Amino acid sequence: MTLATPVQHRSKLPDVGTTIFTVIGQLSSQYEAINLSQGAPSFPCDPALVSKVTQAMAQGHNQYAAMTGLPSLKERIAEKIAALYGRHYDVQREIAVTASASEALYSAISALVHPGDEVIYFSPSFDSYAPIVRLQGATPVALNLSVPDFRIDWDQVQAAISPRTRMLILNTPHNPSGQVLSRDDLASLARLLRNTDIVVLSDEVYEHMVFDGQRHHGMATHPELACRSVIVSSFGKTFHVTGWRVGYCVAPAALMDEILKVHQFMMFSADTPMQHAFADYMQDPNTYLHLASFYQAKRDLMVAQLADSPFRLLPTAGSFFMVASYGHLSDEPDSQLVQRLITQHGVATIPMSAFYADGTDNRLIRLSFAKDDATIVAGCQALCRVAL
């Protein structure tokens, strides 16, 4: 029985209810489905990392960390970015450790977007972008990526920019499509934003998962874009510890000053023992530099296992997601198919329509290969038995 209240209230997000992700999670649990849906690893993290957290706790690192993050961890972040992308960030003023990448996204949007502003983002997209924008009294402007290649139409972006545009949100490598931005994409973006006050918020949580020998073209690699960008990344995604909820962001000092004003009142600081562990662990760059080959092997395993399935797989250049098409065989709505895959075949996936604010359905589903090999094989075998 729920508790009744006499309080009359007006919702800030009246159209936001239980998401398809929750529905799928509950249905998957009920049917004990093989999990190819959730973007979280099903394999353990390095035991050495857990030991470092335990050691930090035993040494008494259990109280609040510095508001902007542990200095030694921020130094590791600065060293990594300089080595990989050639960009140097001031450890004192331009790097913040946050309580998850999601908190960094919220803090950045809340700090830099004002009522009446417009924020351009690209669909399909991670589902938190638009609601966070709306909570600021601003308007999210969704531009659809082309299907099936999920590329940005820069002419469409130019047409969408208005005097009210304050921010443009990017995600590379991209969830859910697995596509990545190119050097030419960055050049096009820089050209469009030149002589504007538009901030780029770049969600780069899968930065170390770029395949086939390609380079990650993040905002830090481009001088013009770096000086107007807030870049967000995730220790959870990088080190297979999504439940630890620690991320970070980097930005020019003037932008970071505003972000920290929000961060200090939202969380103040991220978990202290985890920060000590990451700082120690990252002294060896191989702890994250191996991820591209590690996840590429899992991608390739999934591709091989689904070779005889009724699904057509779209190329995946990064992240740990793959998109499968079935529209050549069926007009069944993707949300209906996904529920049928769970109840009849015991395998959980995600409908791509869930990543569109307007529910666009291109008869596509998203699969995650951030799983142990046995789960990948079992899930793919179940998908091979599907009749469409």
Express each pLDDT in 282-322 by its tens digit.
999 999 999 999 999 999 999 999 999 999 999 999 999 99
Instruction: Write out the two tokens for 75.
Output: 């130094």
Task: Look at the block and give the residue holding tokens 């990526």.
Answer: 145
CA 327, 172, 351 angle in degrees (round to 5)? 30
| For range 346-350, the mean pLDDT | 96
Which pLDDT score is estimated for 371? 96
Tell me how crowded residue 48 is: count the other CB atoms within 10 A of its CB. Answer: 12
| For range 2-29, the mean pLDDT | 85
Determine whether 163 is exposed, middle or buried from the number of CB atoms within 10 Å of its CB (0-12, 13-18, 19+). Answer: exposed
271 close to 190: Cβ distance less than 8 angstroms: no
169 - beta bridge partners? 201
Instruction: For residue 242, give the 3-state DSSP assignment.
Output: helix
Of the chain, the percentage scoring pLDDT greater than 90 comes to 91
| For range 247-269, the mean pLDDT | 97
CA 148, 151, 152 angle in degrees (round to 5)? 140
> If we measure between CA atoms, which residue out of 69, 43, 66, 16 comes closest to residue 233?
69
Q: Rounded to whole angstroms, how far apart are CA atoms 384 and 344?
A: 13
Quick: pLDDT tens for 85-126: 999 999 999 999 999 999 999 999 999 999 999 999 999 999
Which pLDDT score is estimated for 355? 94
Residue 119 has, within 13 A of its CA and on its CB side, a CA count of 28
Residues 6+ apart with CB under 8 A from 286: none
Q: Rounded to whole angstroms, how far apart are CA atoms 16 and 170?
A: 23
Quick: pLDDT tens for 264-273: 999 999 999 9
Q: Where in the chain is the domain with CATH 3.40.640.10?
A: 47-287
Instruction: Write out the two tokens for 59.
Output: 């040494």
Which pLDDT score is estimated for 9? 87
Report the topology of domain 47-287. Answer: Aspartate Aminotransferase; domain 2 (3.40.640)
CA 23, 350, 370 angle in degrees (round to 5)? 115
Q: What's the pTM value of the predicted model, to 2 decimals?
A: 0.95
206 close to 296: Cβ distance less than 8 angstroms: no
Residues 6+ apart with CB under 8 A from 333: 351, 353, 361
Q: Is the dihedral of CA 151, 155, 160, 161 positive or negative?
A: positive
Q: Where in the chain is the domain with CATH 3.90.1150.10?
A: 20-45+289-384
The two most distant CA atoms of the chain are separated, in Å, by: 60
Which pLDDT score is estimated for 17? 74
Instruction: Write out the two tokens for 99.
Output: 């309580």
201 close to 109: Cβ distance less than 8 angstroms: yes
Q: Look up the CATH number of domain 20-45+289-384.
A: 3.90.1150.10
Instruction: Write out the two tokens for 203.
Output: 């969600």
Which pLDDT score is estimated for 137? 97
Q: Is the dihedral of CA 306, 312, 315, 320 positive or negative?
A: negative
pLDDT of 75 higher than 90: yes
Residues 6+ apart with CB under 8 A from 181: 152, 170, 172, 217
Tell me how crowded residue 6 is: count the other CB atoms within 10 A of its CB. Answer: 4
> If we measure between CA atoms, which residue out of 266, 208, 263 comes closest to residue 230?
263
Type of residue at 372: D
| For range 273-284, the mean pLDDT | 97
pLDDT of 14 higher than 90: no
